[in-house]
A and B are shown apart, each in its own frame.
Chain A
């Protein structure tokens, strides 16, 4: 059908807007910006705004302000950049929704294996082993992901108009957002491992650029926050660690089958040695561990909070971390062929990470960091869903959670961004600590209500999106007879409900708020925060609606994996397990409500401090099990230690040999050069003397030795 064949429009639209912005409007922005005038106005504005809290250290490079450099007014070109990004992304999003509805309501329009080569380019041929093709492919899985990526990107684009207002890097920001969306779409459309890997690295690059967007911002050791530049490097490097496994896995598959193509692989791997295939699939999963921030490569994701908040929303919902889940879903048929161990690894890594990250999220005081660990935890759920899906459900459960999670996690982050934006305007500095929030609901009602909806969705409150997807996964673990995973995921669901409501109450509520502390209350920070502009609240409202309705796509499993059982209210609510899940979530919510909305914060603090066990537990969790410290130690002492040894080897052994030879020759030369008298006759004596000696030797040899 023509509709599918033109879906490359969706793929290349963000690339187009990236090119237009970076080579067109951004150049215009740079040229039309009055440089000197900007510097002075900014310095003045800065001096007024800081209220003297920052001291007098802002000179020419005085942009050590927490925020990005501001301009008093965006140039025409910068504004156009934003509109270009939004308009083109809107086209892509609309097209993907059309594709989604068309493929959902007219399933016969799509061939069973999807549509190959909607765009293909023969990269190069290599002798008899075959050709390397850049090929794109579309099927139901791709369309489901497509909708998520383009919709979240579009909303983030719109939202950034408000969030990045007057930012000097406005045009650059939009260019990067477009590049990010394009990179993710390359992964979504990938037809073979080669393309998915290119997209994989492009996503890594884009996240690097966006996490490190505020290049002037410094680290905040007192809040345990790295500088954006460090955080972006950390994200990049940790992903490389996972990518090593990913590349090796791809190479094993290629060496055994001679193809990168997913569909050919699905057939060819059946002839492979199963053990080798299982190892390859686990190695490929290593790539997903890095990209989707699973234990033990999770620590880049909380650090990535240093990027602008819309970027966090994009990373956490649609692009970066979703890539790992999507990749595993994409190669799902290969996992089915391998030993069950491959799926077990996926499920257990996911399950462990879900619990692990959820426990950390319980005590974090940084607003965005709670959300970061909640993402890690939810990604764990997705991998559990993929791991237990099996041949019956296919990648459905994991992808369904990805689908619903994308909406409510984007919503949570955009709400957080709205809060940060409001607090920045109120306090003129960056506040992310929830201890300086509180009672924001009456001051930012739209943000609060949407955040509450997202909290309900992620906590698994019935009839919200997260309930359907998460409950399916929890139920499936038991259906597979995996009691360990069932208990872990169930317990984590309770923890999730707890920490999300805790975050909500700490930020938006308080003991003296309305509705028993849920709505408003004492604000613990400075200034008077206000609701964000409509460019920011409209995406929130849209996402809030999506966070509810996204869960009602009961045919999702069948859509991805024909023949998979569909969800229905009957099956969900006639199952006793569902009620166990609901009760767990409600217990989590109630505990959080009592602890944070009914009990005074100081009293709670004192109770924890006076109990040795609680105090120790709190400290371990607050410091994220000291894993960051451990990684820091490893990097500092093991890696740098090795580097020092290697450096010493180079300096002393390698250079020693080279310099030793050179100085030996120099030493010889210092004396031998005396023979160079410059007088021809002395050379002649040497020459003829040598000939005479040789002649004598030859004479003796010829005469006597023969």
Chain B
């Protein structure tokens, strides 16, 4: 039984759910960021899978998915840098990285 699209999709879905759980349930801001990274990469896996198993053109000439994935990795890197910088700033200000206590935007 070779590798099929479903393997990719299931892997992506599992990774996404793990990431989602981490992003929602963790109280440490760093852990939340890690969850988000996992979600992004879950999407990357799905994109690459779709790209590889497409039925329109040969794989070598149909790179949209891969390019998209690379873009996401790039953006994710930037996002991580910004988000970590914010976490550090919040930590300096409030001496905590617990997201349940970061609720200045409350009503």
Binding site for B on A (CB under 8 A): 673-674, 676-681, 684-685, 688
Give the docked Cα–Cα distance between A678 and B100 (Å): 9
CB distance from A669 to the nearest CB of B (A): 10
Residues 93-107 of B at the A interface (beta carbon under 8 Å): 99-100, 102-107
Give the docked Cα–Cα distance between A685 and B23 (Å): 10
A residues near B24, Cβ cutoff 8 Å: 681, 684-685, 688
Whether B107 contacts A680 by the Cβ 8 Å rule is no
Whether A680 contacts B99 by the Cβ 8 Å rule is yes
Give the docked Cα–Cα distance between A566 and B32 (Å): 112
Q: Interface of chain B, helix or strand or loop or mixed?
A: loop
6 example contacts (A-B, Cβ-Cβ < 8 A) are as follows: A674-B107, A679-B99, A679-B100, A679-B103, A681-B100, A684-B23
Whether B103 contacts A677 by the Cβ 8 Å rule is yes
Let me know if B20 is at the binding interface, CB within 8 A: yes
Residue of B nearest to A669 (CB): B107
B residues near A676, Cβ cutoff 8 Å: 105-107
Residue of A nearest to B104 (CB): A678
A residues near B99, Cβ cutoff 8 Å: 679-681
A-B contact count (CB 8 A): 33
Residues 1-60 of B at the A interface (beta carbon under 8 Å): 20, 23-25, 32
B residues near A673, Cβ cutoff 8 Å: 107
CB distance from B46 to the nearest CB of A (A): 14
Residue of B nearest to A672 (CB): B107
Known: A673-B107, A679-B103, A685-B24. 6 other contacts (CB 8 A): A678-B106, A679-B100, A679-B102, A680-B32, A684-B23, A684-B24
CB distance from B104 to the nearest CB of A (A): 6
Whether A678 contacts B107 by the Cβ 8 Å rule is yes
Whether A678 contacts B105 by the Cβ 8 Å rule is yes
Q: Interface of chain A, helix or strand or loop or mixed?
A: helix
A residues near B104, Cβ cutoff 8 Å: 678
Whether B106 contacts A677 by the Cβ 8 Å rule is yes
Query: Which one of B23, B105, B106, B107 lies within 8 Å of A681 (CB-CB)?
Result: B23
Binding site for A on B (CB under 8 A): 20, 23-25, 32, 99-100, 102-107
Residue of A nearest to B103 (CB): A678
Residue of A nearest to B26 (CB): A681
CB distance from B90 to the nearest CB of A (A): 12
Give the docked Cα–Cα distance between A678 and B105 (Å): 4
B residues near A681, Cβ cutoff 8 Å: 23-25, 32, 99-100
A residues near B103, Cβ cutoff 8 Å: 677-679
CB distance from B38 to the nearest CB of A (A): 14
Give the docked Cα–Cα distance between A684 and B100 (Å): 13
Give the docked Cα–Cα distance between A455 and B102 (Å): 99
Give the docked Cα–Cα distance between A676 and B103 (Å): 10
CB distance from A165 to the nearest CB of B (A): 76
CB distance from A317 to the nearest CB of B (A): 77
Give the docked Cα–Cα distance between A133 and B25 (Å): 82
Whether A688 contacts B20 by the Cβ 8 Å rule is yes
CB distance from A299 to the nearest CB of B (A): 65
CB distance from B101 to the nearest CB of A (A): 9
B residues near A685, Cβ cutoff 8 Å: 24
Give the docked Cα–Cα distance between A681 and B28 (Å): 11
Most buried by B among A677, A678, A681, A688: A681
A residues near B25, Cβ cutoff 8 Å: 681
A residues near B23, Cβ cutoff 8 Å: 681, 684
Give the docked Cα–Cα distance between A684 and B39 (Å): 13
CB distance from B75 to the nearest CB of A (A): 19
Give the docked Cα–Cα distance between A685 and B107 (Å): 18
CB distance from A672 to the nearest CB of B (A): 9
CB distance from B33 to the nearest CB of A (A): 11
Give the docked Cα–Cα distance between A678 and B101 (Å): 9
Residue of B nearest to A685 (CB): B24
B residues near A677, Cβ cutoff 8 Å: 103, 106-107
CB distance from A688 to the nearest CB of B (A): 6
A residues near B107, Cβ cutoff 8 Å: 673-674, 676-678
CB distance from A202 to the nearest CB of B (A): 63
CB distance from A11 to the nearest CB of B (A): 73
A residues near B105, Cβ cutoff 8 Å: 676, 678
Give the docked Cα–Cα distance between A456 and B99 (Å): 106
CB distance from A666 to the nearest CB of B (A): 14
Give the docked Cα–Cα distance between A680 and B104 (Å): 11
What are the 4 tightest A-B residue pairs by CB atom distance, in nearest-first order?
A678-B106, A678-B103, A678-B105, A676-B107
A residues near B106, Cβ cutoff 8 Å: 676-679
Give the docked Cα–Cα distance between A545 and B103 (Å): 99
Give the docked Cα–Cα distance between A674 and B106 (Å): 9
B residues near A679, Cβ cutoff 8 Å: 99-100, 102-103, 106
CB distance from B107 to the nearest CB of A (A): 4
Give the docked Cα–Cα distance between A66 and B102 (Å): 78
A residues near B100, Cβ cutoff 8 Å: 679, 681
B residues near A684, Cβ cutoff 8 Å: 23-24
Give the docked Cα–Cα distance between A563 and B61 (Å): 106
Residue of B nearest to A684 (CB): B24
CB distance from B89 to the nearest CB of A (A): 15
CB distance from A698 to the nearest CB of B (A): 16
A residues near B20, Cβ cutoff 8 Å: 688
CB distance from A302 to the nearest CB of B (A): 69
B residues near A680, Cβ cutoff 8 Å: 32, 99, 102
Most buried by B among A676, A680, A688: A680
B residues near A678, Cβ cutoff 8 Å: 102-107
A residues near B102, Cβ cutoff 8 Å: 678-680
Give the docked Cα–Cα distance between A684 and B105 (Å): 15
Give the docked Cα–Cα distance between A368 and B57 (Å): 107
Give the docked Cα–Cα distance between A677 and B25 (Å): 16
Give the docked Cα–Cα distance between A674 and B23 (Å): 22
B residues near A674, Cβ cutoff 8 Å: 107
CB distance from B74 to the nearest CB of A (A): 23
Give the docked Cα–Cα distance between A688 and B36 (Å): 13
